[in-house]
Amino acid sequence: MEKVRARVIIDGRVQGVFFRAHAQEMAYLLNLKGWVKNRRDGRVEALLEGDRDTVEQMIQWCHRGPPQAKVTSVLITWEDFIGEFKDFSILY
């Protein structure tokens, strides 16, 4: 299985709606590694590492987010896989 790394920036009503907590739960279910954080500009950023299929599933989830979110856009940047994370964290 091909390992990949993607940096994802989610725009819309994504802060204050438990986006990070739901993203962490989803990442655990998909066995992804990396992190998610709120950005000062009001967006949410995530760095995802794992099998291509599961990273793509997570990106699809990011287009919806949790029930209270209203995602308007998702920017994806593919990077070289590093494998530097042991788990999936919420950064503050």
Q: Which residues contact 56 (CB under 8 A, 6 or more apart)?
A: none
Task: Report DSSP state, residue 72.
Answer: E
- Bridge partners, 8 (sequence order): 46, 76
From 13, 20, 52, 64, active-site residue: 20
- Bridge partners, 78 (sequence order): 6
From 5, 13, 31, 38, active-site residue: 38
Examine the residue annotation and report whether 31 is marked as an active-site residue of this protein.
no
| Residues tagged active-site | 20, 38
